[in-house]
């Protein structure tokens, strides 16, 4: 029995039986919000899939019909110190680096909300396919912080600095059509067809020479991310410093008490 089969997960469902593997964040009751356990288990899952060596494509999805990943788990973040926030951000960045270095393309299947950390984890994927119902955004400033898992860096590289500024400064939540128009997502498909469309794309990729696809991915990431280290370090430090502010403490405490009242995380 291989490592991927032996490993059990608290927050993930793994199907790695064929060349197209599927990793599902399984916290539908929490809208698949990211906490330390999810980050660590995603890191372990992608490490195991790479070690197993049979996956040619990996689909990353969220359980349920409402959210891919609705954001980070604010209840878990609210009491973090700057040092703890820095550690949390570094774990998220390590996951992103692992996904970028994986020798197989990763396709995000976004069926609903992908906000904050949800947009960031989607941006860690090589391709993003979204339902027409999907919504994206980096509304962290409404909670007194900034994106901490690569959002300021990857979003700017994906849609341009100007659009990234608007989305991050204003905390806008956008629909799938607008995300497609600005280049944030690669495809928008009818909601009922999302799973089949993603499967068809993944199977098409999996038919190609895996070494060539792996080399193509490596070169594309290398070209895109030449000065990435310095930019990411700036983000980590800025994210951590936000946790020394009253804005962060007040906004996150308010969210924990009344999560439905914070409209920036669910749209209008």
Domain count within the chain = 1
Residue 252 inside a domain? The answer is yes
Q: What pLDDT is attached to residue 2?
A: 46
Two tokens at 78? 């609210």
Calculate mean pLDDT across residues 204-232. 81
Residue 202 inside a domain? The answer is no
In CATH, what number is assigned to the domain containing residue 145? 3.90.226.10
Residue 178 inside a domain? The answer is yes
* Residues noted as catalytic: 120, 140
Query: Are the CB atoms for 243 and 81 separated by under 8 Å?
Result: yes
Q: When comparing pLDDT for 14 and 230, which is higher?
A: 14
Calculate mean pLDDT across residues 2-15. 77
Confidence band of 5 (pLDDT split at 50, 70, 90): very low
Q: What pLDDT is attached to residue 223?
A: 64
DSSP string, the chain: --HHHH---SSEEEE-SSSEEEEEE--GGGTT-B-HHHHHHHHHHHHHHHHH---SEEEEEESSSSEEE--B-HHHHTT--HHHHHHHHHHHHHHHHHHHHSSS-EEEEE-SEEETHHHHHHHTSSEEEEETT-EEE--GGGGT----SSHHHHHHHHH-HHHHHHHHHHT-EEEHHHHHHTTS-SEEE-GGGHHHHHHHHHHHHHTS-HHHHHHHHHHHHHHHTTTHHHHHHHHHHHHHHHTTSHHHHHHHHHHHH-GGG-GGGT--
Q: When comparing pLDDT for 230 and 98, which is higher?
A: 98
- List pLDDT tens digits, range 126-166: 999 999 999 999 999 999 999 999 999 999 999 999 999 99
Q: What pLDDT is attached to residue 263?
A: 46
Residue 201 inside a domain? The answer is no
Q: What pLDDT is attached to residue 224?
A: 64
Residue 258 inside a domain? The answer is yes
Confidence band of 259 (pLDDT split at 50, 70, 90): low
Two tokens at 112? 């609903």
Confidence band of 268 (pLDDT split at 50, 70, 90): very low
Q: What pTM did the predictor assign?
A: 0.88
Residue (of 28, 23, 30, 21) closest to 9 by Cα position: 23
Share of the chain above pLDDT 90, in %: 74
Work out the burial of residue 173: count CB atoms within 10 Å of its CB; fewer than 13 is exposed, 13-18 middle, 19 or more buried: buried
Residue 245 lies in domain: 3-195+207-265
- List pLDDT tens digits, range 44-63: 999 999 999 999 999 999 99
């Amino acid at each position: 029995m291989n490592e991927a089969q032996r490993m059990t997960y608290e927050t993930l469902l793994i199907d790695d039986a064929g060349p197209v593997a599927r990793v599902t964040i399984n916290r539908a009751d929490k809208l698949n919000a990211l906490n330390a356990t999810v980050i660590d288990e995603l890191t372990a899952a992608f490490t195991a899939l790479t070690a197993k060596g049979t996956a040619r494509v990996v689909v990353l999805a969220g359980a349920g019909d409402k959210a891919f990943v609705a954001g980070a788990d604010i209840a878990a973040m609210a009491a973090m110190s700057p040092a703890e926030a820095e550690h949390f951000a570094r774990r998220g960045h390590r996951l992103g680096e692992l996904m970028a270095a994986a020798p197989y393309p990763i396709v995000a299947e976004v069926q609903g909300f992908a906000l904050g950390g949800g947009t960031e984890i989607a941006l860690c994927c090589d391709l993003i396919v979204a339902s027409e119902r999907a919504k994206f955004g980096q509304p962290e400033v409404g909670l007194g912080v900034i994106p901490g898992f690569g959002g300021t860096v990857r979003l700017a590289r994906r849609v341009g600095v100007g659009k990234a500024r608007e989305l991050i400064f204003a905390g806008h939540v956008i629909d799938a059509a607008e995300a497609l128009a600005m280049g944030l997502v690669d495809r928008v498909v009818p909601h009922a067809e999302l799973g089949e469309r993603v499967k068809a794309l993944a199977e098409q990729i999996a038919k190609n020479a895996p070494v060539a696809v792996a080399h193509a991915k490596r070169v594309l990431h290398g070209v895109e991310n030449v000065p990435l280290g310095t930019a990411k370090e700036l983000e980590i430090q800025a994210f951590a410093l936000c946790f020394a502010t009253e804005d962060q403490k007040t906004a996150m405490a308010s969210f924990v008490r009344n999560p439905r009242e914070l409209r920036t995380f669910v749209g209008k």
